Structure 1
Amino acid sequence: MPEVEVNGTRLFYQQSGEGPDVVLVHAVTSNQAVWVFSGLVEALAADFRVTAYDMRGHGASARPATGYTSAVMAEDFRQFHAALGLKPAFLVGHSFGGVVSMHAAVVAPECVAGVLLSDSFFPGLKHIEPNFGKMGIWGDVRETFARVGVELGDTVDFTRLFRETAALSPEKMKELEDIYGAFGRGWLRQLPRLAETTCGDEVLAEAGLTEPVLAGLTKPVVALYDEFSPFLATCRWLEQHLAKCTVEIIPAAKHLAMLDNTAGFTDAVKRHLTRLSQ
C-alpha cells in the first residue's frame, strides 16, 4: 500500500480505476477498509479514479498525538490532493469524514468538485441535534461493551471509549473480538491506538466550520442520510440552507448505510457521482 507524507503526517492510501477523481473519506474510528469491504471501491473504479486513504491516527497511517479537528484534517486533504496530483475531486465522506469533506470544500475549493456526505453530524450545528449524545449506534456499542463488564456511559464519549478499550485485558479484548466478528475486529483493535491522542475531544470541536460558514458553501452537495439516522434535523438544515444540495434517504439504515444497506448506498453514490461528473 503506498504512502505519502503530508502536513507532517504519513498517510496510507490506495488508488484504482480511471476517470474523474473520487476520494473516499472514512469516519472517526474507521479506516479505508470499510470502502473495500462494502465493495464501493470496486463499484466506482469502473468509471472513476478512486482514492481511499486512512486519516491520521487511523488504519495504517501515522498516529500523531494531536491534530484531529476537521480543520487540521481538511488541511491534510489539501496537501494529500496536491501530493497525488489529483484533479478537483468528488469527496465521499461518511460521518466525520463528511465533516472533513465539507471543511475541505470551504478551505480548499480548488481541490473539490463536490461532496457526497453520508449521515454526518456537524459540531457547528449541534444546537439543532440535541440528542446527538444518545444516538442509537452509541447505545449499541455501550450494550456490547457491557457484555464484558465495561461501562461506557449513556452519552457519546469517544475519549472514554478509547481509554476503556486500551485498558481491556487480553481475555476481555478476545471476547469483544468474537462478538464483533471479522470486520468489527479491525475497528476494535484500532481504538486503543487513539487513546494516546486528543482525537476523542477534537473531532467534536467546531473548528471554524460554523453555521454561517456551512451556509455559504456553494459546491454541489449530496446529503445521503439514513432512514433511521439520528441526524435528520441536520439533513433538513442542509437541504434548506445550502445553495446546491440534493437529499436522498437510504432505506433500512441507521448510521452505517454502506454496511446496513450496501446495495442501496452503492447505487445512490454511483447515480449521484455520474450525474455530477457529466
Structure 2
Amino acid sequence: MLRVLALLTETATADQILSASACLLAQAGPTAITLLHPLAQSDPDFMPTEEVHTARTDARFAAAQQALAVELAQRADAWRQSGLPSLEIRAGAPEQIVTAAAREADLILLAAPQGDADARALLDLLLLRLAKPVLLLPRQMPHSFAQSIAIAWSDADNAAARAIGAVQALLRACQRATILLGTDSPHAAPPPQALLDSLEAAGRPARLHEFALAGRHVGTALLAEAHAVGADFLVMGRLPMAGCAKSCLAAPPPRCCGSSICRY
C-alpha cells in the first residue's frame, strides 16, 4: 500500500493538495493518505533584535494560526466525499511534527513554495535532511494528473531510481511515459534496461526523448522538455548543479498547464 503524507500549510494551496490527494486515491491503487497541518505555536519569523515579544503578539499569532487551521480543516472536509480523511492538526514545532510523520510515508505532497517561507523550510527539510520523495504541486493544477509522466534520467546517483520507485503505481496507471535524456549533460547515460523492462511489463512502454541543454540551466531545461512532450508530471532525482531546485520552482508553468514534480 502506498502511504502518502499530504501537508497543508496555507489556504492558497490547500485545494491543489486535496485535489492531488484525491487523484492519488483514484489512480494509484491501494493508498493510505494522511492530511496534516503542523500548527506552529511560536512565530518562526519573530526577530528578537527588532521586535518586542509581548503577550499581545503571542495572542495575535496564536489567533491567526488557529484561524488558518480552522479554514484548512473546512477545506479538507469539503473533500470527504472523494474518500479523503479529515485533516489532522498537530501543534508544536513544524519541523519536528513533519519529521515524525514523514518517517512513515512513501510519498509526501507539498505545494511549490513560491513565496511561502514555511513550505520552503519544509521542502529543504524533506529533501535535503530526510531524503524523502516529495511531490511538488504547482499553484495552478494541470488539466490532468499523472496521465503523461516524464522521467528525468541521470546516472549521477541512484536518486532518480528511488524517485521512480516512489511513483511506480502512477507509472502503471498512466497513459504515456517518456524518459528525458540530456545528451550533453555530464551525467548523460542510457536508462537501465531494468527500468525499460518494468514499464514494458506494466503495459506502459516508455519512449526516449533526447534533448540538448544548449547552455540552459538543467532545471529550466527539464521543465521545458517535460512540457514539450505534453507531460503533466515530472519525476526527477537530485540534480547535480547547485540551484537546480530553485530553477524548477521559479519557472512559471506555460499557459496551457502546469506540471507536478516528484523529486527525491
**Larger radius of gyration, structure 1 or 2?**
2
The TM-score, its normalising length taken from structure 1, stands at: 0.28
The TM-score, its normalising length taken from structure 2, stands at: 0.30
